[in-house]
Amino acid sequence: MTQTINHSIDAYLSYRQIKAAPSTLNSERSKAFKLKELIGKWPISAVTHSDILQLIQTLDAQYANKTINEFLIILRAVFNRALRDGAITQNPLTDISNLKVLHPEPEPFTLSELASMSKVKSECESGRNLYQLGVLTGLRICELLALTWEMVDLSRAQLRVTIALVDNIYKTPKTAGSVRTVELCDSAIEILQQQYLITGHKKAVNFTVLQADNKTKKTQPFSPVFYNSKTNQPFLHAKQYNKTYFTPLLKAAGITHRGAGQLRHTFASQSLTAGIPKEWIARQMGHNSTAMIDIHYGRWMSQDAPNNLVLVSKQFSSVFGRIKPDKTEVQFSQATSDLLPPNHTVLQGSSFASSGHTAFTPEQVNTLLHQHPQLLMQCITQLLVQSAIGGSYERN
């Protein structure tokens, strides 16, 4: 009996039921069905390298590179197995590499957008509190939906991430780093305190949690933090949350549509922009290194960035004296007026003359430094200008 691609794909899926998570298996099944539709009846021994290249071209007309690579993962497994079984003598996918994938730019929310979202009135307070907590903690949407009061410790200002809700299935996180303790800022604590008034006294429900082996299931009572106000039940999955609450919220706020997954991006990008160390951000988000922050999450929010020049001044204020930008111009004028000789005039034709500033001799600069150390940075700049023009003055 001639072995076909259909037979080989069915064998692949049968084995994957043992290893893959349900969400992964569902994704692979849909792609396997498409492959069977395109080449399922072909004898596996008759497939050539050129056939695979032609298949990639066919898929390219309909799918993104990332999805095409997922098709190739299935095909590699199918043909590797056929090669080991002796059904083929040469693997037609040899030297066929994955297509290049461009990581999508994160689309975090600006502070202005978040303010607009907060102004929208909503009947679902749980939905509002959920997205705000996501911005403040960096939790994945699947982790927010699975959050229970048993995981929250307000007295210690922290919560423990131990499960996630993916496609209506509670499961333990796929990586060890995702099981973590997340620190809570004051705003996050206030949101959880408000949410406790809504769901904190509801009766616990039994959760069946799929364990890391994708086989073992454990059932235990939990008290979900967030409920869907339309069903008075916990949210089923991220798609339901987006459809019933988040998408209408963005529309009402007049904000460009994006998924709730961008809440996590917002936490990372706004934290980076505020100057918070990447190591702390990565730990909060469940990553063992900062690489994922750099590749997938980080984006400089220029419109929300602090005044970095003020931060530089503050950093060195213990050495050079505190600089107050809002009063410096006045202080500078007052401090220098007594140092100028009566017959002194501004250097004609210089940039200082055009801007109304005054040029000093080195002696005057030294006097100014001793009397007004807080103006050191401005004086150094003046001294450099003086050096550039050779210290010569034109007088009336």
Q: Is the pLDDT of residue 362 over 90?
A: no
Task: With beta carbons less than 8 A apart as the criterion, state whether 303 and 110 touch.
Answer: yes
Could you tell me where in the chain the CATH 1.10.443.10 domains are found? 111-304
Q: Is the pLDDT of residue 393 over 50?
A: no
Read off the pLDDT of residues 17-46 as tens digits, 9 standing for 90 and up. 988 888 889 999 999 999 999 999 999 999
241-245, 289-293, 327-331, 379-383: segment of lowest average pLDDT = 327-331
Radius of gyration over every alpha carbon of the chain, rounded to an integer in angstroms: 32
Helices (H) and strands (E) in the chain, counts: 19, 9
Q: Is the pLDDT of residue 293 over 70?
A: yes
Question: Residue 336 phi/psi, 5° resolution?
Answer: -90, -20
Mean pLDDT of the chain: 83
- Look at strands 233-234 and 227-228 and give their pairing: antiparallel
Q: Is the pLDDT of residue 352 over 90?
A: no
178-187, 216-225, 290-299: segment of lowest average pLDDT = 290-299
Distance in angstroms (rounded) separating the CA atoms of residues 180 and 225: 18
Task: With beta carbons less than 8 A apart as the criterion, state whether 207 and 222 touch.
Answer: yes
In this structure, which CATH number among 3.40.50.880, 3.30.360.10, 1.10.150.130, 3.20.20.80 belongs to the domain 5-85?
A: 1.10.150.130
Q: What is the mean pLDDT of residues 222-247?
A: 94
Q: What is the mean pLDDT of residues 8-13?
A: 95
Q: Tokens 């996050």 identify what position?
A: 188
Torsion of the alpha carbons at 225, 231, 232 and 236, rounded to the nearest 10: -30
- Per CATH, domain 111-304 is 1.10.443.10: yes
Indicate left, alpha or beta for 276 from its phi (over 0: left) and psi (-120 to 50: alpha). Answer: beta
Q: What is the mean pLDDT of residues 167-171?
A: 91
CB atoms within 10 A of CB 27: 15
Could you tell me where in the chain the CATH 1.10.150.130 domains are found? 5-85
pLDDT given for residue 167 in this prediction: 87
Please calculate the CA angle 330-335-338 and round it to the nearest 5 degrees. 130
CA distances in angstroms from 42 to 5, 36, 83, 213, 281, listed in the order given: 6, 9, 16, 34, 50
Nearest to 261 by CA among 145, 101, 115: 145
DSSP state of 294: I
